[in-house]
Structure 1
Amino acid sequence: MKKMRKTMMTVMAAATALMLTGCGAKSSSHGNKQDADTVKIGVNMELSGSAAGYGNAEKQGIELATSEINKAGGINVNGHKKKIKLVIRDNKTATTTSSSIAAQLTTKDKVAAIVGPATTNAGTAQIPNITKASVASVSPSATDPGYTLQKNDKVQPYVFRACFQNNFQGESAAKFMAQTLKVKRVAVYADNSSDYGTGLANAFKKTFTGKIVDSQTYSEGDKDFNAVLTSFKSKKIDAIYVPGYYTEAGLIIKQARQIGIKAPIVGSDGMADPKLAQIAGKQSATNVYYTTPFSLQVAKKNPVAVKFMNAFRARYHVAAPTFSALAYDAVYMVKSAIESEKSDDSAKVAAGLAKIKDFDGVTGKITVNKTHDPEMPIAVEEMTNGKVTNSFSVK
C-alpha cells in the first residue's frame, strides 16, 4: 500500500535527491551491533497524519509479534536467546520526519532492523540513511513496484517488503472481475493523488479482457463524486474499479448506491480497513470487493494465521485487520533472518532477509525474490452490509 500525496511533492523532490546521493554512496561493511541480552528493532511508522489508520494497525501487529517472541524466550542468536526491544517513532506521514527518524534509529539507537514505514513515500525517504548505516527495513505495506529498486533497476540492498506489488494487485483484480464476476463493461475511477492509484489502474487496464467503458480520476480530499458516477450509470456499466484508499472509496460507494448503481465496486488493499464500511454505510457496503494479502476467510485454513487471529482478538478485542497481519509477518521475517544468519549485526540481518524461502507467515507462504519482493498469495474479499462475507483466491 502506497500513499504518495500531491501535497508532499515538494518534500519528496528533496527526499529523492537525497536518496540518489545516499544510494550512490558506499554503505559500511558492518552494521549495528547489539548488546548481550537484547535486539533493538526500530519502528518508523505513520502513527499520526493521513496514513495513521494503516500505521496504528501495523503497530498493533508489531507489538503482538514482539510480545509473543519475548514470551517464548526471545530470538535465538547463535545459541543465545535475546529479547526484542522496540524503539517506536511516529513519522507523522511526512517524508522529512521519516528520513530524520531513520537517521536517529540507525545512528543513535543502533537498531538491528527497522519495521516500516507503512507507505512508499515515507519508506523511500528513509532509504539514504538506512543504506549508509547498513540497516535493513521491512515495510509491511509499501506496494509501488519501484520501491525496492534504484533508478537503474538495481535492487536496494537494505529495502524489503512484506506485501505484494501494485502491478500484481491490478492484474489480479482484472482477472477476478473477468473470470469470477464475469463482467464485460467496466468503468475505472482511480485516485490520481498518488502512484498507488494510477499504478493500479494502469495494471488493471493492461490485463482486463473486457471493455473499459470509461476511465476517470479523483484526488485526495474530494467529497462529491456524483457527476462522474452519474456518467458511469448512463453508460450501462457492469462494474466499477476504484483503486484508492478507504477515505474516498467509502464516499464513492455511498454515493454510487444513493444514485441507484447496484453494480459491483472492486478496489484494492487500501480499502481493507473497517473505516470503509463506516464511511460508506453498512447497507451501501454490499457487492463490494477488494484485493488483499490477508483474508480472514482464507486464513482459517492456515494454522499460523489462526493462532495470530486468536491472539490478536484476545489482546485487542477486535478481528485482525490486514495491515496488522502484514506487520506481524514483518517482525517474524526479521527474527527468521537473524536466526538463519546466527547474527543480529544489522548487515547480516539484511543478508538473511534476502535468503528467506518458504517462510510460514500469517499471510501465507512467503519467499523473498531477487528484487526483495515477497512471492505470496493474493485473495479478494467480498463485503455485504458492511461485513466480509466471502473470499476468493486469485491465480
Structure 2
Amino acid sequence: MWGQSEKNALEMEIEKINAAGGVDGRPLQLISYDNRADSIEAVNVAKRLIDQDKVVAIIGLAQSGVANAVSSVTEEKKIPFIGTTPTNPLVTVNEDGTVKKYAFRTCFIDPFQGTVAAQFAYDRLEARTAAILYDVGSDYSSWLSNYFEEAFTKMGGELVAKEAFRTGELDYRAMLGKIKEKEPDVLFVPTAQKEAALAAKQARDLGIEATLMGGDNWGSPDLITLGGSAIEGGYFVNLASLEDPDIQGFVKEYRERYNADPVLPNPVMAIDGLYMLIDAIKRAGTTEGPALAEALETTKDLPVLTGILTIDPDTHNPLNKPAVIQQVKDGEFIYVETYVTK
C-alpha cells in the first residue's frame, strides 16, 4: 500500500523531470523491487540494485528495521540511501553515536514525534495527566512511549500510569483497568493500527473517557476500519496529511493520474528524497557514491515538496522538520495543524 504509492509518486515526478531535460541533460531511471518489509529480502534487493542494476542511490525503506539492515550494505558498497519513513534514530547513526556516512532520511525521528505528541497534549488539549499503553516487544513502541513520557513530565504533566503488553497479545483489559483507575486526560498508545484499534475498543468498553493519542503508525485506513467509533476523536502525529496546504498540487496531480488518493506519508517523503538527491548530484558534479554522500550531508535550505530541507551533518536527519497533527473525525483522517516543537 505505502510502497506502491511511493513508487507511483516517484514515477510521476521522474516523468516530469525527464520531460524537462532530466538532470544535467541526462534522464533519470527508476528501478524498483518489493522488499516485502523483510530485512533479509531488503538486503538481497539492495545488493541487486547496487551490483546488478548499478544504481547511484536508493530511496525508500519505510520500516526502521529494514532500513537499518540495508544501511550495512550501503555503507559497505559506498552508495547513499535516503530513507522515507524509518523513524528510529539508529537508522542513520551507529550505537556509539557516530554518523553513518551513506545513510540519510527525509522524515523526523521518534524522539521528535514523541515530543510533538506530548507538547500537543499539554498545550493544545490542556492535558495535565497522561497514561501510556505500549508494546514492550516493539522498539518503535517502547522508544516512543519513553520520549512521550520524558517530554510530558518535563512540561509539568503527570504520567499516572504506564502499562505494557507483549507483541501478539490481543486482550489489554487488565492493563486498561489499571489505567481507568487513574482517570488520565489522555491515553497515549504508540502502536500499529491493529493494536491501537483493539486498545481503543477495549478502553471505551471499560468506560475510559481519555482522549486517545498515537504516533505515525496510526496513519492507515486500517485504524478506522478496525477501530470504528471507538477510535473517533483520537489524535496522532504524522509526517503529512492529504489536507496539508503545502502538498495540494501533488495530491491533485496524483488523483488525476492514478484515480486514487496517495497513501501518505511515504510518497511525499520519497519526492523530498528525490529532490534531495538531484540537488546533491548537481552540486557534486558526479554520481560517484563518496562525493554524493558529501553533497547530501551538506544539503541546506533546499525547497522540497513538504517545505525547506536542511540536513544535520552530525545525524543525517532533517533539521526542524515540522510534524502534522491529524484527528479521526466522522470516520476520516482530518488535518488539524502543522506543529513545530518548542
Taking structure 2 as the reference length, what is the TM-score of the superposition?
0.91
Indicate conservation of the 8 Å contact 1:285/1:385, yes or no. no
Q: 1:129 aligns with which of 41, 48, 73?
A: 73
Residue 199 of structure 1, CA deviation = 0.8
Aligned-partner SS, 1:380: strand
Alpha carbons of structure 1 residues 266 and 104: separation in structure 2 relative to 1, 3 Å: same
After superposition, what is the alpha-carbon deviation per residue over 1:29-81, rounded to whole angstroms, capped at 9, x for unaligned? xxxxxxxxxxxxxxxxxxxxxxxx443343333333323323333222xxxx2
Task: Work out the percentage of aligned pairs sharing the same amino acid.
Answer: 30
Q: Return the match for 1:150 from 78, 86, 94.
A: 94
C-alpha distance in structure 2 between counterparts of 1:82 and 1:269, whole Å: 37
CA distance in 2, matches of 1:61, 1:247: 27
Question: Where does 1:24-173 land on structure 2 (aligned, <5 Å)?
Answer: 53-76=1-24, 81-173=25-117
Moved more, 320-329 or 66-75: 66-75
Find the aligned partners of 1:335 and 1:239 in 2 and give their Cα distance: 43
Shift of 1:380: 1.2
Cα distance, 1:389 vs structure 2: 3.0
Q: How large is the RMSD of aligned CA atoms in angstroms?
A: 1.9
Aligned residue in 2 for 1:326:
269
User: Quick one: distance in 2 between partners of 1:263 and 1:133?
Assistant: 49
Distance 2:326 2:272 in 1: 20
Alignment-derived partner of residue 328 in structure 2? 383
Q: Summarize the Cα distance change of 1:275–1:70 in structure 2 as closer, same or farther, 3 Å threshold.
A: farther
Equivalent of residue 239 in structure 2, options 293, 296, 301 = 293
Task: Give the gaps of 5 or more residues in structure 1.
Answer: 1-52
Task: Name the SS for the 1:87 alignment partner.
Answer: coil
Once structures 1 and 2 are overlaid, which stretch shifts more, 319-328 or 240-249?
A: 319-328
Amino acid at match of 1:255: Q
Work out the CA distance in 2 between the residues paired with 1:66 and 1:193.
Answer: 39
> Could you report, residue by residue, the CA deviation over 1:300-321 in whole angstroms, capped at 9, with x for unpaired residues?
1x2xx22211112212333332
Residues 324 and 335 in structure 2, CA contact (< 8 A), matched pair in contact too: no
Find 1:341's aligned residue among 251, 270, 284: 284
1:148 deviates by 0.8
Which letter does structure 1 place at the counterpart of 2:302? F
Count of paired positions: 334
Query: 311-320 vs 173-182, which deviates more?
Result: 311-320
Greater alpha carbon shift after TM alignment, 257-266 vs 86-95: 257-266
Written as runs of structure 1 = structure 2, the 5 A alignment for 1:178-189 is 178-189=122-133
Residues of 2 paired with 1:227 and 1:220: CA distance? 16
Q: Give the 3 Å change call, closer, same or farther, for CA 352–193 of structure 1 in structure 2.
A: same
Please give the secondary structure, in 2, of the residue aligned with 1:190. strand
Kindly provide the amino acid, as one letter, of the partner of residue 197 in structure 1. S
**1:363, distance to aligned residue in structure 2 (A):** 2.3
**In 1, are the aligned partners of 2:172 and 2:199 still within 8 Å (CA)?**
yes
Contact 1:171 1:203 in 2 (8 A): yes
Change over 3 Å in CA distance of 1:224–1:202 after alignment to 2 = same
Change in Cα spacing, 1:322 to 1:206, as seen in structure 2 (3 Å) is same
Of 180, 183, 191, the match for 1:233: 180
Residues 206, 249 of structure 1: alpha-carbon distance in 2 compared, 3 angstrom cutoff: same
Structure that is richer in strand per residue? 1
| Structure 2 counterparts to residues 131-280 of structure 1, below 5 A | 131-208=75-152, 209-280=156-227
Letter in 2 for 1:358: D
What are the ranges of 5 or more consecutive residues in structure 2 without an aligned counterpart? none
| Length-normalised TM-score, structure 1 | 0.80
Q: 1:284 to 1:70 in 2, by over 3 A?
A: farther
Residue 318 of structure 1: SS of its match in structure 2?
coil
1:312 maps to what in 2?
254
- SS of the residue corresponding to residue 82 of structure 1 reads coil
Note if contact 2:39-2:69 (Cα within 8 Å) is conserved in structure 1. Answer: yes
Alpha-carbon distance in structure 2 between the residues aligned to 1:71 and 1:276? 39
Partner of 1:364: 307
The 1:92–1:387 alpha-carbon spacing in structure 2 relative to 1, beyond 3 Å, is: same
1:323-368 alpha-carbon deviations (Å, 9 max, x no partner): 2221221222212211222222333322221121122222222111
Q: 1: CA distance between counterparts of 2:63 and 2:83?
A: 8
Partners in 2 of 1:210 and 1:92 — Cα distance?
A: 40
Report the CA distance shift for 1:222/1:54 in structure 2 as closer, same or farther (over 3 A). farther
Structure 2: distance between partners of 1:220 and 1:327 = 29
